[in-house]
Structure formats: structure tokens, C-alpha cells
Structure 1
Amino acid sequence: MVEDGDRVCWKKKSIFFDLEYWKYLPVRYVLDVMHIKKNVCDSIIGTLLEIPGKNKDGITARLDLLNIGVKTDLQPEYGERRTRLPPGPWNLSRAEKREVCNSFYGMKVPEGYSSNIKNLVSLQDSRLLGLKSHDCHTLMQQLLPVAIRSVLEKPARYAITRLCFFFNAICAKTVDVFKLDKLEEDVVVTLCLLEKYFAPSFFDIMVHLVVHLVREVRLCGPVYFRWMYQFERYMKVLKGYVQNRTRPEGCIAKRYIAEEAVEFCTEHLSDVSTVGVPSSQKMGVSKPLSGCTVTVVDRDLLNQAHLYVLENTEEVLPYIEQHMIHIQTAYPKFRKRTKWLQDKHNSTFIQWLRFKVQSELNEEDNHGVSENLRWLAAGPNMAVPLYRSYLIKGIKFNIKAQDDVRTTQNSGVYLLAHTMQVASAKDKNPILSNMGFYGVIQEIWDLDYQKFTIPVFRCDWIDNTSGLVVDELGFTLVDLSKIGHRNDQFVLASQVKQVFFVDDPMHRGWSVVLSMPNREYNDVIGDDVLGDVRIECEPFTRGMPNVDTFDEVVVELGSQNIRDGCEDIWVE
């Protein structure tokens, strides 16, 4: 105990400092990102929606503002029966609370992404109830910035969005150490912005610990090596071992020893999988899951799918070059018209390849034609199996009709393709470059080439010219009703990445594109685990307004802190 005038300060020195080496450790304890993120999420959600027990606003918080001499226009006004609190920059109106809850209520996420968000929303009370640690993780990573896009004033909304983007960057699977300094500077600015628009009571110790997360990444590596999700999940497994509640430790020990014995025995048996250990997602084989219907499809659609398979097969690439040379030789007048040559190639290549391979097979040397190329040139069967669900490398894809009757969304896909881009319909000299395409799976085909099958998706692709925009925060918005690329609907199932679409509360009819987190970990064992570590900081820095933009917005607001158009808060 140290006496300082009239003030008595209590100070405690940890017993670990008695160890000689303890004071020299750069990291004496590791901060748990899972619990930090959960507490920060509870504080933001509880304050915005005024959830009892989680709300950081109240009479005490307003008196703190009065004591330190800031935002004095937000001080409480006492009445005979109840106290009036003027609405601050962090308060939502009743309509805004309903809008946020309706946005969460209508969200459909891919299977395995999170729990059903709809079950966490109470529309009657305009609250989120029963948030678990992983629910807060998904909210802070991607969902919360979308739900608040049309509420709050721009400075407060951007400050919360910056904090969410920081958590999204800090929890990435790979880390770029050269971007950590910039990331640390940005999170400090973000917390300063939050201090401008939120009450001091919001900034407890958990919010303060966010500043130290980048330092621990620099010293300890990526966050997912150290957070507590896997341990919390394993605690649930251990709790499931308990059968006799009067002796829980004995039940856990007995069941654990029995499981270890069974796993030891499986190592000496053939064709027996290890107990409780799932197979790797990377080694997963593509396989259909449900809803097989064999249908004779339209010939034009089948040729379109077959042509896409041929153009994405390595053995066929030399034949494509030969066919383009053949077209240029046969039609010298159109040699410089790239688009006409490509259309002519698409309409004649399938038949030309069939005759070309057949002629090579009739010769004595056979030209080294493989059996796979022979069956590819022959074309697929007209009777095509159609599926409602398909599993690709551990990721489940559904058709749109299947998602309409389910609580999950697995039909959104993204494709990065090297394709021709034209400026307009009259452009006769397109250029080749990479372009991203967003679409929704309508049908899942399994093309039968007799000796093997190839799964392809028939998708409705969003028109990139009129149905896709990127806003000032870097969010990609799509209009799912504007369909384009109708002559190129198919894509190989192994080429796409899964995305999902969330209705944009700011622009009616548009949807925000969100991506699935990367679940693949590098199978590296040894000292070089962190050899090429880098973090995907792009979502945090790309498209984000700089600090000067925030200052301009503050100047426009003036010195008034009371929100216009928001109801007063009454406390009994």
C-alpha cells in the first residue's frame, strides 16, 4: 500500500517476478483474442441496441461526461418520476434498431460458417440474445459492418466499421510482417475515433487490449495459433464424456483412456479410420450428396458445357492453338477481328476436334493421343445427372432452389477468369485480362464421358457492367436480378470459390458480397512454420477513407453531439 496525500493506491506485484528470467520475457502472457473480440462485440451491440446488462450508456456514463467537461449537452435531465437522456452519437432510433435486427434476421450464411443468426434475433425487443464466442467472431469479422450500413451518422458508423476491418485483418491465416506497422497505426487511430463518438464508459480494459494485439502478432505469429476456440470446443467433448455427474473427473478420465486405447489399436488395423479425427479437407474427393435426376438436356447447353471443359483441359490447349491458326488461314479477311475469330472458334471447335482426334487415331503412330483425350473429343452423354448438392474439397455447394427451402446459403460462387473484355457492343478489338465474376448456381451437372465424370455448375452470372459496383468502404455490391453472360453459363466445380450474398440495408435491391473464410492450413511441420508468414491486410486498408475524411465529416456536424431525429432515452 502506497499513501499519496489523501489518496490510497493499491499496487500488486505478481509473484512471477520473483523468477530471474521473468522480467526479461517480451511476452509474459498471451492475450486471448477470442474473449477480447467477444467482449468488444458485446459492448458495441449492447450499446447500440441498449441491451440491459451490456449497455455502456446510462446516467453514470452521462455524469462522467459532465465531470470531465466534454459533450456537456448530453448531461441527464432529472424529472419527478424519470430522467431524460438526450440521444448521443452512439444511440439508435427505434426504426434503426428494427432495421439492424431485420438485417440480421434475414441473413443466410453458408453451412458451417456460423450458427443460425436468425435464432439470435428478438424482433419484439429489437435485441440480439444468446451470443456465443463464435457468433461474436462472425459478427465482428463481416456481418456487423453490413447490418449498420444504413444507421448511425457517418463518423460513428465508419469508426465501428474500421474496428471490424481490423479484427478481420488480425485474424487472417497468413501475416505480412511489413504491413504490421501500418496496421498498428490504423488501430490506434480507430480507437481515437471511437473516443470521439462514444462515451468514456465504453472504453474498459478489453477495448484497451486491442492496441496490443498487433504487437503480439509480431512476436508470436498469427492469431489462430493462440486463440481459444479449439480448446473451448474440446471442453465440450470432455463434458460429453460425463455420465455420472457426482464423479465428473472420473468419467472424463475413463472415457479418455478408453478412446486412447481404441486409437492405439486402429494403428495396427487396415482400412480403419482413427476415432474422432476427420479426414483432411484438402484430400476430399468431389462427390454428389443428394438429389440425383437424370435428364436429357438441351443440345446447345450441353455443347456450351462441353466446350468449357475442353478449353480448361491442358491436353486440349495445343489443339485450340491449331484451330485458331486454321480459322485465321481459312478466313484471312477476319484475321484482325479478335471477337469474330473467338465466336467462330466457339461454334466450330467441338466438331473440328472430334474429326482431328479421330484422324490421328486412324494413323499408325497414333500421335500419342491419350485415352482421356479420346473420350473428351467424343463428347459427353446426352443424359446428364443433375444434383441438388455437391461436395468439392470439403465445401458444400447447393443449387438456388435448394437454398430457398433451407436456412443456409451455399449457392453463391466467385470466379477469377482470364477472359476477353470489351468496352461496348461495338468494340471489335477486346483485350485479355483477369476479371472477377459473381454468380448463383442454378444446376449442378455431372458430365459423363464414359470413363470418367466431370462436375460443372450452370450459373446465373451477374452482369459486370450494370449489376456490380464497389462502394467507398471497399464492399462489393451486386444486383442479383441483372443477369449477363448468358452464352457462357458453365464453370468447372473445382474453379470457383464460395461466397454468399447479404441484402444491403442501404440500397434496396442490392446485395453485399461476403466471402467464406479460408479453412485450409499449410501442412508445414518444423522450424519453418512461420517462414513465409503474411497477413491479408487488404480488407482493412483498401477502400477505407483516411483520417482526413473523418475530420471533414466532423466539421460538417459542428459542435452539437445530440442526434437529430432520434428519440430521447428515459430512465425510471
Structure 2
Amino acid sequence: MPENDIDIYLQPPVDELKQLWDRVEMYDANKKSTFKMFAALMWIISDFSGLENLSGWNMHSGGKSKDNMKTRKDLQYMGIRSELWPRDGGKYPSTVFTMSNAQKDIFLKTLQHVIFPDGYSSNIMRCVDLRQPMVHLIVHLVEEVKTSGPVHYRWMYPVERYLGRLKKYVRNRAQVEGSITEGYLSEEILTFCSRYLDDIETRMNRPMRVDDQPSGVIPDACETMFPKIGKAVGVATHFKLSQMEQHQAHRHVLANCEAVSEFIDSFRQKNKENATRSNKVAIKIDSIVHKEFVQWFKQEVPIESTEYSNEIKCLECRPRLQARRYRAYNVNGYKFRTMAKDEGMKFQNSGVYVSSNTRSYASMRDQKVAIGSVPYYGKIVDIIELNYNCRFSVVLFKCIWADTTTTRGIKQDHLGLTSVNFSRSIHTGDREDDEPYILASEAHLVYYVDDEVDKEWSDCSCEATRLV
């Protein structure tokens, strides 16, 4: 290995690349003529050991650093990064990624305690060593991604993983290439044949990592109103809803049912007409709709009526008090678990995010409504399935919600990172007016990282990708 003398070995390819950039004359065998060719090196594939030698990165600090006076003088000689040039008196300014020992401890403790969703990342806490921080390496990764683009174009890891797969084909060490060729062809043939097999599980039709396809769905007219979405994981347990829980869950179902929206509009319009005569403000009308619509809907749609469909009359009857409870549920490509199920596990799947269209007013006497999307961040407490007289069922998540309506419950830093405070939760379900439930179909997965400085706050990320 050339080690620190890598510059000498790289000089010839650098000279050739410069020559290619300045145009070289090439011969086209097809056209039997010459042409001028431009070429540029866009990506390289290397492992970290080689990358450390090539770039001067310090993977294990051990109290040493490549950021010294000689490096700063090199920057000055090349005429780049003037903000890092040496100053008078033999001193030079700190780089943007410089951390104090206390900051390093906070950063590494955050990494050590972070818990990602299932399948989102490996157990990163095993890779953190508080005694040998790799801070110099980590701070470069973000800049490298921004500059160079996707990792798979320039890292050796995907290639090494595939080479490891090819090595498994070797059965005869005396004929390595032949073994790999035969193994590869056999796998290609089996994969091709499996495309024509429908009744058995193959690579082409096996379930995804998160299997959210509903099973045992029986076609029914009512399914058009609330189609079966998602798939329960584990055994269901039966329990009895309290009157308040039944009312809160049923109210959310009605408010998010498209077939009921015209009834809500009608009830709102009637209250607007009454408000004009009694001088009620618009914000009070929304409160009346929230509190009284369920009872009005029951009176508006009598069970013996022939004017409305059976599906609407099913909703009028409210769900049964006997309900099902699950500890995990797959939906929208995500795996969700309750907080109790998450406790003690190395993965976090109880975080939930939903964006809700909320009606707001400039003041108590403002008659003009503004409808805007408000983000809500929560944690799943319970997963229940309501039974509407055995005609159809609806799965809901019961959550505790951070107060995202005020700066005491949500904030955003200059980098756009959102933090929430669960010590100021809302809609806990203790009051009848609370709204702790959401439909399972509304949920998006989010994970939280505890703030090591301010323990009440948690940084949240909604970028938890769907797992396939």
C-alpha cells in the first residue's frame, strides 16, 4: 500500500484525466474515421479504508487529526476556502464541524439512544463507541451526499454484497468460475419458471416485508363505504368499550365518511341560519357540530326509514360496545405497534403522523373560515376494530397527541427539523370532546429521537419510508 505517498501513484491517472478533458483524438472503427473525445471522471467506487488514504479522513480520532497548520497552508496555496487560511501568530480558525468534548458526548449519546422503525436501519447503538468517536468522518457524509449524489454510484458496499452472494454459489473450489456460472444460471432459470407458478409462494409473489394486504375479505355492498384496509398482526383480544370511547370513535368515523359529508353540511347550514337570528359567531357553530351532530344524525336517519341505504342506517345505529383490540397493525406500507408493544424492543413503530384539515378563524367574532392543513404528531396507545352490526368494521388508532397548535408543543429550528413536546399532550380521551382516534388509513409512520439537552422535547422525522 502506498499509504501517505498515494499522491505519487495518483499523479499518472490525474494527468491522463486532464488530457481526456482537453480532448483526445480517437478512432471510430464503425465509421472508420477519427473524432475528438471529451471524458470526465464522475464517480469512483471504494471502501472506507481506501477512501481514508485517498481523502485524508480520520476514521478513529485517538486524539489525532489531519486538520493542522500544514493542511491550512495547502488550502492557502491552492487558493480555496479562504475562511480557513492561517491567521497571524500561527493560529487558524476552527472548522464548522469542530465540536467540544461536551458536544461530542451529546451527539454520540443521541446516536446511542436513537431507536428507528423496524427495517429502517440496523441497531446503530452497537456501532457507537463513546471512547473512540468518529465525528470527523460523520460530519463529512452529509456534505459528500450533497456533492456526489446517491451512495450506490460510488460506494463499494453494494458491489461487495453482491460478490458475497456470488461466493455462495461456489461448490467446487478447484473450479470457482464454473461454480459461480452454474449457480447463477440455475437461479435465473428457477426465477423464470417461478413466474408461471401461481399456487405456491415464490420470489415473484411472496409477501412484502410489511404485508398489509387484507385477508379473508368477503365482497359486500357496505365495503364500498369503508373498504377493508390493512392487516392485523397477531391475535385479537375482545373488550368492551366505555360509552365515552364508543362516542369518540363513532364521531370520528362519521366525520371522515364521505357518504355522511352531505349530512354534516346540512346540519352546519341549519345552525348558520339559527346563528344569524341569535347572533352566534361562526366558531361556536363548529363547536355545536362537534358536540351535537352524532345525536342529530341518529334522529335524521331513523332505522325504519326507507329513504336511506342500509349502509347509512348501519352508521346511525352506532358500533357495538364489544370491540376487538390488536397490538400491531400493517397499513399504508407501514408497520404500526402500540406503545406497550414497543416497550423494551429495539425498534420504534408507535409514532404516528397525520395531517388534518382544520377550520380556523382570525378572532371569536370572525365569520370567515380558513381551512388549512395542520400536522399532528402522536403515539399509538391502542388499536381497535369497531363492529357495525356485523355488516362492516372500521379499524382506528387511539393516540396521545402533542399540542401542535402552540409553540409550547411544537417548534422548528433553522434547519427545518421539527421537535414536539409530549409533556403537553392534547386529546388524551379523558373528556368527551377529545379526539384521540384516527382511522388506520390516515396514519403515516414517524419516529422520535429524544433531545439529550432538553429532555421534554423529541425530534421527529416523517421520512420513514415504506418498507418493501
Q: TM-score, normalised by structure 1?
A: 0.61
> How is 1:228-307 mapped onto 2 (pairs within 5 angstroms)?
234-243=162-171, 247-275=175-203, 278-279=206-207, 284-285=213-214, 286-290=230-234, 292-307=236-251
Q: Post-superposition shift, 1:419?
A: 0.7
Worse-superposed segment, 290-299 or 428-437: 428-437
**What is the percent sequence identity of the aligned residues?**
25
Asked if residue 479 in structure 1 is aligned to residue 426 in structure 2, the reply is no
User: Among residues 322, 337, 340, which one is paired with 2:281 in the alignment?
Assistant: 337
Q: Post-superposition shift, 1:467?
A: 0.8
Asked if residue 404 in structure 1 is aligned to residue 414 in structure 2, the reply is no
Q: How many angstroms apart in 2 are the aligned matches of 1:41 and 1:485? A: 52
Per-residue CA shift, 1:418-469, capped at 9, x if unaligned? Answer: 1123568x67766432211111111112222223322211111111212111
Per-residue CA shift, 1:175-232, capped at 9, x if unaligned? Answer: xxxxxxxxxxxxxxxxxxxxxxxxxxxxxxxxxxx37x5xxxxxxxxx5996777666
Q: Is the partner of 1:122 in helix, strand or coil?
A: coil
Aligned to 2:395: 455
Q: How many angstroms apart in 2 are the aligned matches of 1:42 and 1:344? A: 70
Worse-superposed segment, 345-354 or 55-64: 55-64
Q: Post-superposition shift, 1:323?
A: 2.2
Q: How many angstroms apart in 2 are the aligned matches of 1:42 and 1:312? A: 59
Q: Post-superposition shift, 1:106?
A: 1.0
2:56 and 2:66 in contact (8 A); partners too: no
2:117 and 2:464 in contact (8 A); partners too: no
Per-residue CA shift, 1:271-306, capped at 9, x if unaligned? Answer: 334326655679844111136332212221221111
Q: Which has the higher helix share?
A: 1
User: Among residues 100, 107, 110, which one is paired with 1:93 in the alignment?
Assistant: 100
Q: Is the partner of 1:396 in helix, strand or coil?
A: strand
1:51 and 1:127 in contact (8 A); partners too: no
Partner AA of 1:341 in structure 2: I
2:272 and 2:282 in contact (8 A); partners too: no
Aligned to 1:490: 437
Per-residue CA shift, 1:151-170, capped at 9, x if unaligned? Answer: xxxxxxxxx79838x73xxx
Per-residue CA shift, 1:368-422, capped at 9, x if unaligned? Answer: x2x4333333222212222221111321111122222111111222211111235
Aligned to 2:409: 467
Q: Whose relative contact order is higher, 1 or 2, with alpha carbons under 8 Å and at least 6 apart?
A: 1
1:113 and 1:516 in contact (8 A); partners too: no
Partner AA of 2:183 in structure 1: R
Worse-superposed segment, 230-239 or 389-398: 230-239
Aligned to 1:353: 297
Q: How many angstroms apart in 2 are the aligned matches of 1:460 and 1:42? A: 50
Asked if residue 163 in structure 1 is aligned to residue 143 in structure 2, the reply is yes
Aligned to 1:374: 313
Asked if residue 56 in structure 1 is aligned to residue 3 in structure 2, the reply is no
Asked if residue 118 in structure 1 is aligned to residue 125 in structure 2, the reply is yes
Q: Post-superposition shift, 1:88?
A: 4.2
1:74 and 1:88 in contact (8 A); partners too: no
Q: How many angstroms apart in 2 are the aligned matches of 1:36 and 1:75? A: 39
Q: TM-score, normalised by structure 2?
A: 0.72
Aligned to 1:509: 456
Partner AA of 1:453 in structure 2: S
Aligned CA distance change for structure 1 residues 64 and 440 (closer, same or farther; 3 Å): same
Partner AA of 1:399 in structure 2: T
Aligned CA distance change for structure 1 residues 362 and 422 (closer, same or farther; 3 Å): closer
Structure 2: gaps spanning 5 or more residues: 1-10, 215-229, 429-433
Q: How many angstroms apart in 1 are the aligned matches of 2:366 and 2:134? A: 56
1:439 and 1:461 in contact (8 A); partners too: yes
2:61 and 2:133 in contact (8 A); partners too: no
Q: How many angstroms apart in 2 are the aligned matches of 1:40 and 1:432? A: 52
Worse-superposed segment, 308-317 or 269-278: 269-278
Q: Post-superposition shift, 1:105?
A: 0.2
1:101 and 1:126 in contact (8 A); partners too: yes
Aligned to 2:226: none
Aligned to 1:170: none
Aligned CA distance change for structure 1 residues 400 and 334 (closer, same or farther; 3 Å): farther
Q: Is the partner of 1:95 in helix, strand or coil?
A: helix
Q: Is the partner of 2:441 in helix, strand or coil?
A: coil
Aligned CA distance change for structure 1 residues 59 and 472 (closer, same or farther; 3 Å): closer
User: Among residues 370, 391, 395, which one is paired with 2:334 in the alignment?
Assistant: 395
Q: How many angstroms apart in 2 are the aligned matches of 1:41 and 1:339? A: 63
Aligned CA distance change for structure 1 residues 474 and 41 (closer, same or farther; 3 Å): farther
Aligned CA distance change for structure 1 residues 225 and 323 (closer, same or farther; 3 Å): farther
Count of paired positions? 417
Alignment RMSD? 4.4
Task: Choose 1 or 2 for highest CA Rg.
Answer: 2
Q: How many angstroms apart in 2 are the aligned matches of 1:354 and 1:456? A: 21
Aligned CA distance change for structure 1 residues 322 and 91 (closer, same or farther; 3 Å): closer
